[in-house]
Amino acid sequence: MEPSSDQTVAHTASSKVKRFAEYPDIWATASALLSGAVKAEDGIIKTAQQAVDRHLIVLGGKSAGKTTLITRYLERTVDEHDTIGISYSFLRKQRDDGSLTDVGNIWEIGSSSVTAEMLEIVSNPLDGSNVMIFILVDVSRPETLLSVMENVLFPLNGTIANFADASVWIIGTKFDRQQSLNFELDKRQAVLDILRQIATTLSFGLLYTSQQNNQDAKVKSILDNWFLGEKMPEFSVALDALKLIFLPLTLTGAKRQSVTKPDMERWKLLIGAAIPQTEAAEFRPVKEAPNDAKLYAETELDEAFKLIAAEIKAKRRSTLRP
């Protein structure tokens, strides 16, 4: 029996409420209730709340501070090592009413010539509306700036196209080291100009961090707002090359674009006039097999494996003796 018009209540996006009369098929109603997709309260079917999985993808150059940023945010002991491949961490937050637990997933992609392949592995199963991306660049190594950005931005093109709602931040790390090296003002300004152009062209946020003066606070506030829903403080916009930079997403435009080869060539010419660019070693293709490549060498593990192999060989010989 079809419900009459006076029995049907309009569904609104804000309340997401439907009356039983809007479910003419009793079996469909029962199935929805049993699956937990909806719940019934006082004769009204409401969309059930669900736990949220959010994802942070961290990319960037070697020794830019990716692992340090993650471990500090999670308040863990910093394990100084180069990430090879993909590293995963997570955090959880229980809702105030205790009904659901939201999860924050953190994916760190190691610096290598196969960034695109690793990014595809991480991003394929994700929902783009729940994704944030951090691109870390070491501003104390400006000679590799465009090499790092090129090897991160082009692999990101496909991901960003699929994740139109993803928030992307460029994070310039080690600003305090840049200061200690006494870079000339024109070099500092060249780095800032290029990063600002990239951010405004691609609608990314931009900020600098320093290990001194607790300047990781902005990163923590961004992540707390993203993962935990906490209100983000009002930070002042800063675009002085001699100070910590902060350019929020709200000022870089809303239309997300992909990087193009002409964009990259233009940026290389602009920064090259002040700072000649070199290729970052970590992004050079590895020709040897991973087990033999010096880039992935693990001397202690290799020696341990040799000892184990020798012990196994000796035991086999002893068992074969008459």
What are all long-range contacts of 112-115, with beta carbons under 8 Å and residues at least 24 apart? 112/84, 112/282, 112/283, 112/286, 112/295, 113/151, 113/282, 113/283, 113/284, 113/285, 113/286, 115/59, 115/151, 115/152, 115/155, 115/283
Q: Which of 90, 156, 132 is nearest to 219 (CA)?
A: 132
Helix, strand, coil shares of the chain, percent, nearest 5, are: 40, 20, 40
Q: Please indicate whether residue 27 or residue 9 has the higher confidence score (pLDDT).
A: 27
Q: Is 280 exposed, middle or buried (0-12, 13-18, 19+ CB in 10 A)?
A: buried
Structure tokens at 229: 């829903």
Share of the chain above pLDDT 70, in %: 70
Q: Which of 195, 193, 122 is nearest to 163 (CA)?
A: 122
What pLDDT shows up at residue 304? 75
Return d(Cα 55, Cα 77) in angstroms, integer: 22
pLDDT band at 34, cuts 50/70/90? low
- pLDDT tens for 281-319 read 655 555 555 555 555 566 777 777 788 778 777 776 666
Q: Please indicate whether residue 84 or residue 57 has the higher confidence score (pLDDT).
A: 57
Rounded mean pLDDT, 221-250: 83
What pLDDT shows up at residue 18? 44
* Res 110 pLDDT > 60: yes
What pLDDT shows up at residue 7? 40
pLDDT band at 118, cuts 50/70/90? confident
Strand partners, 56: 106, 132
Rounded mean pLDDT, 102-125: 82
**Could you tell me the pTM of the whole model?**
0.71
Return d(Cα 320, Cα 317) in angstroms, integer: 5
CATH class belonging to 53-282? alpha beta
pLDDT band at 33, cuts 50/70/90? low
Return d(Cα 174, Cα 69) in angstroms, integer: 11
DSSP string, 53-84: EEEEEEEESTTSSHHHHHHHHTT---------
Query: In Å, how far from its chain's centre is CA 96?
Result: 27
Domain positions in the chain:
1-48, 53-282
What pLDDT shows up at residue 229? 79
> Which of 1-5, 158-162, 210-214, 215-219 comes out lowest in average pLDDT?
1-5
Phi/psi region, residue 129 (left: phi>0; alpha: psi -120 to 50; beta: rest), is alpha
What pLDDT shows up at residue 295? 55
What pLDDT shows up at residue 195? 93
Q: How many residues does the chain have?
A: 322
Rounded mean pLDDT, 89-118: 81
Strand partners, 86: 109
What pLDDT shows up at residue 218? 87
What pLDDT shows up at residue 5? 41
Q: Which of 97, 110, 96 is nearest to 230 (CA)?
A: 96
What pLDDT shows up at residue 14? 37
> Which of 45-54, 145-154, 229-238 comes out lowest in average pLDDT?
45-54
- Axis-axis angle for helices 145-162, 261-272 (nearest 10): 160
- pLDDT tens for 174-210 read 888 888 888 888 889 999 999 999 998 888 999 998 8
Return d(Cα 203, Cα 89) in angstroms, integer: 27
What are the Cα distances from residue 74, in Å, to 89, 175, 209, 308?
Answer: 9, 22, 17, 36
Rounded to the nearest 10°, the torsion over CA 205, 209, 214, 220 is 40
Strand order in the sheet with 44-47: 17-19, 44-47, 38-41
- Axis-axis angle for helices 145-162, 185-202 (nearest 10): 10
Q: Please indicate whether residue 141 or residue 243 has the higher confidence score (pLDDT).
A: 141
